[in-house]
A and B are shown apart, each in its own frame.
Chain A
Amino acid sequence: MSSQLEQLLKSTPARLHVGGSVMRPSTQAMLKMWADHAAAMDTVFGDVNPQVLEPFDLVWLQSRAAETKKIYLARPDLGRLLHPDSAELLVEKGTQGADVQVLISNGLSSEAINENISDVYPAFLQSCKQYGLSVPQAFYIENGRVALMDEVGELLKPKAVVIFIGERPGLANPASLSAYFCYQPRKGTIEAERMVISNISQQGTPPLEAGAHLGALMRKIIDKQASGINLV
């Protein structure tokens, strides 16, 4: 293979030069693509492994879209709200007016939680401690959406909320996590007020690094009393 060709092929993760004929790709290339899609499908429809979350003593809550994945996918509006029983439980087990309230949700990728939470979450807690931020009882939310933080903000009145949530999986990486955060999220918070560290995964933003960086960002938005477009 010429060095020029090699350099070109190395410069992109696109599936190039896969063999087969001009009409159909090689069997191997086709099945590899299907396998990667299968992994993406399975992580959307799969479940979080409770053992992974056990060390963190989370309280488990449900969104209003927790009944089935079909409802979750078709009704993002319901994923933004807590089931009434869960809202009660949140108030019962939660702490009012803390610095940082942590939420964890499977979102669109259960594997994102399974693979990354054990690294990113302890690193985040450590970082918050260093910055002198209080982080009370955290919650796991089944089938949540990012904007669910608004209801939690209303009910517990923390200074900031962060939600670790599985991203929509791509074929290159079905286990990518996002951390969305916002200063005082409330009903009516607009998307531009939220901030995000995305692509947290072994191949993307390293989870340990993301956790540490996120603590610093929490300190910043709390000190500035603003996030997103309001943060100048």
Chain B
Amino acid sequence: MKLTTALQGAHYTFADLKDLFAKANEEKSGDQLAGLAARSSQERIAAKWLLSEITLSDIRNNPLIPPEQDEVSRLIEEAVDESVYRQWAGTTVSGLREWLVHPETNSKDILHISKGLTSEMIAAVAKIMSNLDLIHVSGKINAITSCRTAIGHKGTLASRLQPNHPSDDPDGVRAVMYEGLSFGVGDALIGINPVIDTFESVKRLFDVMNEVVEKEGIPTQCSVLSHITTQMKVAEAGTACDLFFQSLAGTEAGNKSFGISVAMMDEAYELAKAHSRRGRTYGPNRMYFETGQGSELSAEAHHGVDQLTLESRCYGMARRYNPFLLNTVTGFMGPEYTFSGKQIIRNALEDVFMGKMHGLTMGADVCYTSHIASDQNDMENLGVLLTAAGVQYLIAIPMGDDCMLNYQSLSFQDIASLRQTLGKKPGHDFARWLSARGLFHEGRPSERAGDLRVLVGGR
């Protein structure tokens, strides 16, 4: 494997594959903080060039984090479909990129070869792709998953309604639910970040959501984004939990900092598949994950590996559990990992591409904190780019301002206007419900849409 190259009259040498991977990333403050980033723009391109020429077997044969040291590495390695891999082992990273962007290559082809690729191979190709490469290829791939409802159909843009409240107040949660639903938001899921991660609090939030969903007959799924073990207890005590949520990291040590392991997630997955409640029927996909570039570094669990590659490894772990959906929260992590709107946009495009390459149903929290050099316009731009990239769902909150987590995302109005501007519809079942409630008419928001009184008054 070649680690030396010349570009524009200068020579570049990289210490190992890990070094080459890191330096081939677009500029990210998290790689700089970790001391892994390219030292100049030319070195970055030299690294991309070299990386483009190595083969997929080079990547597999030189593990960045040896499987003996890390259970996420083991899990990714063991999941490789050997017969698919053998056909692609001799292909270069450049060859993979050119095949992906080829007009004849379709979703089915990509989802097939995905089984033979490791997360590191998928990360490698993302590094040598331009933004439009990422958008174009993401747009080709679509995986459909199913929990209470199915999402991911071509031509749809679903959304997560996030009715957070600074003290988990039930009325406050209901108010935001009604408002979001009236805009046609909430088809992917209704998911709350709890203030307090206790059995009582998590159960109460499930109860509040389940009550509204049952009363109104809303075809969606509910989730409380607590630690997985709290949800398991709540489910075992008899509360309907449609989705089982957990944040994931791309290394064993990173997951340890989240208080989870592969064994624990295996157990949660078994419980989730078996968990049902009277009156609810479920498809095979019951897990929900969030990830974000930088979480491993923040836990000092990155093993000297760049944050894009670690993010890809999260998806490698996620696919073991056939999740209903997964979204990146890049932009929430802080300026030390993602400095600016430009970096947020790039990370989100990479994440959605890499997730879809793993066969996942991918969403994004298009978001930023107030100490990142970004603003609402950057988010609206990214909303357009991701919708064009066929992102399967986006998170939305009232006016893009989360009054509990203190960060900014997209608004309910943004979901409506993204669908309208780019010709997308809500998820099929949800669209039927919206029509039945008079909130949509002929596939578009009706005159009554966007007014929570339609739902509050109707009770």
B366-381 contacts to A, CB under 8 A, are: 369-372, 375-376
The CA of A17 and the CA of B416, in the complex, are separated in Å by 15
In the assembled complex, which residues on chain A have CB atoms less than 8 Å from the CB atom of B453?
A: 2, 5
Q: Mark A31-66, 1 if CB is under 8 A from B, else 0.
A: 001101100110010000000000000000000000
From A2, A9, A33, A77, B457 is in contact (CB under 8 Å) with A2
- B372: chain A residues at CB < 8 Å are 73
Are B370 and A74 in touch, CB under 8 angstroms? Answer: no
Flag whether B400 is at the interface (Cβ < 8 A): yes
> Using a CB-CB cutoff of 8 Å, which residues 135-157 of chain B contact chain A?
none
Contacting residue for B370 out of A8, A24, A37, A77, CB 8 A: A37
- A residues with CB within 8 A of B: 2, 4-5, 7-9, 11-18, 20-25, 29, 33-34, 36-37, 40-41, 44, 73-77, 108, 168-172, 174
Q: Is B191 an interface residue (CB 8 A)?
A: no
Binding stretch for chain A, among B5-13, B164-172, B304-312:
B164-172
Q: Which residues of A contact B369 (CB under 8 A)?
A: 168
Tell me the complex Cα distance, A131–B181, Å: 54
What's the Cα separation between A74 and B420 when bound, in Å? Answer: 38
Of the listed residues A2, A7, A18, the one surrounded by the most CB atoms of chain B closer than 10 A to its CB is A18
Question: Beyond the given A18-B399, A36-B401, A73-B336, could you list 4 further A-B residue pairs with CB under 8 A, ordered by the A residue number?
Answer: A13-B166, A15-B401, A44-B370, A73-B339
**0/1 per residue, B177-202, Cβ < 8 Å to A?**
01100010000000000000000000
Q: How far is the CB of B273 from chain A (nearest CB, A)?
A: 35
Question: How close is A28's CB to chain B, nearest CB, in angstroms?
Answer: 11
- Least Cβ distance of B165 to chain A in Å? 6
Task: In the A-B complex, list the 9 residue pairs whose CB atoms are closest, starting with the nearest.
Answer: A170-B406, A22-B450, A12-B172, A11-B171, A15-B399, A40-B370, A8-B175, A14-B398, A73-B335
Q: How far apart are the CA atoms of A189 and B419 in the complex, in Å?
A: 50
B375 interface neighbour in A5, A37, A76, Cβ under 8 Å = A37
Q: Is the CB of A33 within 8 A of B400?
A: yes
Q: Is B132 an interface residue (CB 8 A)?
A: no
Is A5's CB under 8 angstroms from B371's CB?
no
Contacts of B400 in A (CB 8 A): 33
Q: Do A168 and B413 touch (CB < 8 A)?
A: no
Q: In the complex, are the beta carbons of A13 and B403 less than 8 A apart?
A: yes
A106 to chain B, nearest CB (A): 12
Across the interface, name the chain B residue whose C-beta is closest to A69. B371
Q: How far is the CA of A7 from the CA of B456 in the complex (A)?
A: 11
User: In the complex, what residues of B have CB within 8 A of residue A169's CB?
Assistant: 370-371, 406
The answer to whether B452 and A76 have CB atoms under 8 Å apart is no
Bound state CA distance, A76 and B29, in angstroms?
A: 11
Q: Are A5 and B452 in contact (CB under 8 A)?
A: yes
Q: Which residues of A contact B169 (CB under 8 A)?
A: 11-12
Q: Measured between alpha carbons, how far is A44 from B372 in the docked complex, in Å?
A: 10
Contact A17 B406 (CB under 8 A): no
Q: Which residue of the partner chain A has the closest CB to B169?
A: A11
**Knowing A5-B452, A21-B450, A22-B445 touch, does A14 contact B370 (C-beta < 8 A)?**
no
B33 within 8 A of partner (CB): yes
In the complex, are the beta carbons of A33 and B175 less than 8 A apart? no
Q: What is the CB-to-nearest-CB distance from B447 to chain A, in angstroms, rounded to a whole number?
A: 9
In the bound complex, do residue B339 and residue A74 qualify as a contact, i.e. CB atoms below 8 Å apart?
yes
Chain A residues in 8 Å Cβ range of B165: 11-12, 14
Contact A25 B411 (CB under 8 A): yes
Distance in angstroms from A213 CB to nearest chain B CB is 20
**Closest CB in chain A relative to B420 CB, distance in Å:** 6
Q: Mark B323-350, 1 if CB is under 8 A from A, else 0.
A: 0000000000001100100000000000
B210 at the interface (CB under 8 A from A): no
